[in-house]
């Protein structure tokens, strides 16, 4: 049942916020021992939040749109008074003294916090295997990864542990795990949603967005978290449209561009390709016109990203030195020795790998050859998208080249892991909104994801097309294994 239907039940008194919260806390207790989506369950706060909502309703107060709706939050979004670890030993005991803008807006809208979800350390990874506190598991098959870096947020929604959740997306960290876990995941336009209170990975790429069981529920969350924020200089000062109203706008006559470079990938799983092309045909049956388009530099996105993102990570993570906050190595001699040991012990291997890559790319003698060149290619990628949108309304690709892989499959080959984000990275580099919608299953019963990319600030358009496809295809009539645990 979606947010709108539950809101109506809550309004009529057919269910209380406390009952809804207790249902989800019971689900977490039943399945999270297998899924490990949560790093921290805030049961006491959740019940207190729900009780306040029920009291306000009994008193006849007009309640905000998410009143009583239980949500989970990726553990790189600061929550005042609640540990925010980024799944890193470096921040294992960090309790923020302030609230992120997006979570502040959720609580103001009446949402109930169930807890903080697992992720790849500092959001660097595509499987949650780099989490210092152990990986999350895919509810469809616990031997498979849930994707990353927002794997815990995606798995929690797929397993029925929460109605919806928030994640962050730097190179695909919402859309790829959404595809692996068979849920909806939306990355908004860069600047559409405030980053204030999001622990930074790559500041020119990071964006906060929702996971949900349906496109309509994703629109509900985006409606609440979007909008300007004076605390974030990169947040756009533009009005927020009515995303839920956009869902029912007709799609007949819209032009959908299939990016040919995405369907010609050597590593694209044939089952994924067939499922996504079948989804495109479903849109054609709804009245959309399919158009083949070319983005010649699309495949250059991954090399470009792995210069820019590590460079920004190197700068952002320089603050973790064991002095003001975070992990501090004991018994070190000088300040320099303490800093070096704190960083060596506090960061995991993947984080250290990316810091080293970024530091090298920014070093004297290499910054022009690597970082500056990558920024130039980033501009060309954006120009390719601009040219494509001159003739189409939305772009369509697979979300990931394959379905969820087994744990350890890429442990000895970081480059193979990086390729999991091959199809999602270009939208981040161009700052464009993009959404994953489930579009089928492979022969092993693992979900396949369809990606729709919109032009700048056209979240309403991709939500509209995704919603019509979702309603027509009715793909998600199955439930994952973990969600069937009593």
Residue that has been written with the tokens 């949500």 in this structure: 71
> For residue 147, is pLDDT > 70?
yes
From the list 223, 227, 230, the residue with the least C-alpha distance to 69 is: 223
pLDDT value, residue 19: 98
Residue that has been written with the tokens 């960290």 in this structure: 173
Cis bond before residue 340 (omega within 30° of 0): no
pLDDT value, residue 151: 98
The residue annotated as part of the active site, out of 126, 173, 311, 400, is 173
Under DSSP, the state recorded for 81 is T
Residue 86 lies in a domain: yes
Report, as an integer, the average pLDDT of 66-95.
98
Look up 74 and say whether it is catalytic. Answer: yes
The residue annotated as part of the active site, out of 149, 165, 311, 314, is 149
> For residue 483, is pLDDT > 70?
no
Residue 413 lies in a domain: yes
Sheet holding 447-453, edge to edge: 38-41, 112-117, 70-74, 164-169, 207-212, 184-187, 434-441, 447-453, 394-398, 255-259, 289-293
Residue 173 lies in a domain: yes
Task: Show the beta-strand stretches assigned E in 99-148.
Answer: 112-117
From the list 6, 57, 457, the residue with the least C-alpha distance to 213 is: 6
Q: Tell me what percent of the residues of the chain surpass a pLDDT of 90.
A: 92
Q: Using pLDDT thresholds of 50, 70 and 90, give the confidence band for residue 485.
A: low
19-24, long-range: CB < 8 A, 24+ apart: 20/50, 20/68, 20/69, 20/70, 20/112, 21/46, 21/47, 21/49, 21/50, 21/68, 21/70, 21/112, 21/114, 22/47, 22/50, 24/70, 24/114, 24/160, 24/161, 24/162, 24/163
CB 355 within 8 A of CB 313: yes
Give CA–CA dist 206/313, Å, rounded: 11
Look up 311 and say whether it is catalytic. Answer: no
Residue 133 lies in a domain: yes
Q: Tell me what percent of the residues of the chain surpass a pLDDT of 70.
A: 99
Residue 353 lies in a domain: no
pLDDT value, residue 324: 85
From the list 65, 26, 218, 43, the residue with the least C-alpha distance to 115 is: 43
- Predicted structure pTM score: 0.96
pLDDT value, residue 325: 86
- What's 363-420 look like in SS3? CCCCCHHHHHHHHHHHHHHHHHHHHHHCCCCEEEEECCCCCCCECCCCCCCHHHHHHH
pLDDT value, residue 183: 97
Q: Using pLDDT thresholds of 50, 70 and 90, give the confidence band for residue 484.
A: low
Q: Using pLDDT thresholds of 50, 70 and 90, give the confidence band for residue 438.
A: very high
Look up 173 and say whether it is catalytic. Answer: yes
Report, as an integer, the average pLDDT of 86-91.
98
First vs last Cα of the chain: how many Å apart? 18
Under DSSP, the state recorded for 162 is -
> For residue 477, is pLDDT > 90?
no
CB 258 within 8 A of CB 288: no
pLDDT tens sequence across 173-218: 999 999 999 999 999 999 999 999 999 999 999 999 999 999 999 9
- Backbone Cα Rg of the chain: 21
Report, as an integer, the average pLDDT of 47-57.
97
Q: How many domains does the chain have?
A: 1
Residue 144 lies in a domain: yes
Residue 341 lies in a domain: no
CB 120 within 8 A of CB 147: no
CATH code of 440's domain: 3.90.1300.10
Give CA–CA dist 459/470, Å, rounded: 16
Report, as an integer, the average pLDDT of 411-436.
92
70-74 vs 164-169, strand pairing mode:
parallel
With b meaning 16 or more CB within 10 Å and e meaning fewer, what string describes 242-256?
A: ebbebbeeebeebeb
Total Cβ atoms within 10 A of residue 33: 10
CA angle 280, 284, 287 (to 5 degrees): 145
pLDDT tens sequence across 361-414: 999 889 999 999 999 999 999 999 999 999 999 999 999 999 999 999 988 888
Q: State both tokens at 268.
A: 């694209």
pLDDT tens sequence across 298-355: 999 999 999 999 999 999 999 999 888 899 998 878 999 999 999 999 999 999 999 9
Residue that has been written with the tokens 């109930």 in this structure: 112
Task: Show the beta-strand stretches assigned E in 218-319.
Answer: 255-259, 289-293
> For residue 259, is pLDDT > 90?
yes
CB 70 within 8 A of CB 112: yes
Residue 367 lies in a domain: no
Roughly what angle, to the nearest 10 degrees, separates helices 17-35 and 43-58? 160
Element holding 38 (H helix, E strand):
strand 38-41
Range of the domain at 243: 3-257+391-484
What's the mean per-residue pLDDT of the chain?
A: 96
């Amino acid at each position: 049942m979606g947010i709108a239907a539950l809101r109506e039940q809550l309004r009529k008194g057919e269910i209380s916020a406390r009952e809804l919260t207790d249902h989800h806390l019971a689900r977490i207790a039943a399945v999270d021992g297998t899924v490990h989506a949560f790093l921290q369950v805030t049961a006491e706060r959740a019940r207190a939040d729900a009780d306040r909502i029920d009291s306000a309703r009994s008193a006849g107060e007009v309640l905000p749109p998410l009143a009583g709706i239980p949500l989970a939050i990726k553990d790189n979004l600061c929550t005042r008074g609640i540990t925010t670890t980024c799944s890193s030993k470096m921040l294992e005991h960090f309790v923020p003294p302030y609230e992120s803008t997006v979570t502040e807006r959720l609580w103001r809208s009446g949402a109930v916090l169930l807890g903080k979800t697992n992720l790849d350390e500092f959001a660097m990874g595509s499987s949650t295997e780099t989490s210092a506190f152990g990986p999350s598991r895919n509810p469809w098959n616990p031997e498979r990864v849930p994707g990353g870096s927002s794997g815990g947020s995606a798995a929690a929604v797929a397993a029925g542990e929460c109605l919806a959740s928030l994640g962050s997306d730097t190179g695909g960290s919402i859309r790829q795990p959404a595809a692996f876990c068979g849920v909806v995941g939306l990355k908004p336009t860069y600047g559409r949603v405030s980053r204030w209170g999001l622990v930074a990975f790559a500041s020119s790429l990071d964006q906060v967005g929702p996971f949900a069981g349906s496109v309509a529920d994703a629109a509900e969350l985006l409606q609440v978290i979007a909008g300007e924020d004076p605390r974030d200089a990169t947040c756009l000062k533009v009005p927020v449209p009515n995303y839920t109203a956009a869902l029912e706008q007709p799609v007949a006559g819209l032009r959908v561009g299939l990016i040919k470079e995405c369907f010609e990938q050597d590593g694209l799983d044939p089952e994924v390709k067939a499922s996504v092309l079948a989804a495109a045909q479903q849109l054609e049956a709804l009245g959309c016109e399919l158009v083949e388009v070319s983005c010649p530099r699309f495949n250059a996105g991954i090399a470009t990203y792995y210069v820019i993102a590590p460079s920004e990570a190197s700068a952002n993570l320089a603050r973790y030195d064991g002095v003001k906050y975070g992990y501090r190595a004991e018994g070190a001699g000088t300040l320099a020795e303490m800093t070096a040991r704190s960083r060596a012990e506090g960061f995991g291997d993947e984080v250290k790998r990316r810091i080293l890559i970024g530091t090298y790319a920014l070093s004297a003698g290499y910054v022009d050859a690597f970082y500056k060149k990558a920024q130039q290619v980033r501009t060309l990628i954006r120009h390719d998208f601009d040219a494509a949108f001159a003739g189409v309304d939305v772009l369509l690709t697979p979300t990931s080249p394959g379905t969820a892989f087994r744990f350890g499959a890429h442990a000895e080959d970081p480059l193979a892991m990086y390729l999991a984000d091959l199809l999602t990275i270009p939208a981040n580099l161009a700052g464009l909104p993009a959404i994953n919608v489930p579009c089928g299953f492979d022969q092993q019963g693992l979900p396949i994801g369809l990606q729709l990319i919109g032009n700048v600030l056209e979240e309403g358009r991709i939500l509209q097309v995704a919603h019509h496809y979702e309603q027509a295809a009715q793909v998600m009539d199955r439930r994952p294994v973990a969600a069937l645990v009593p």
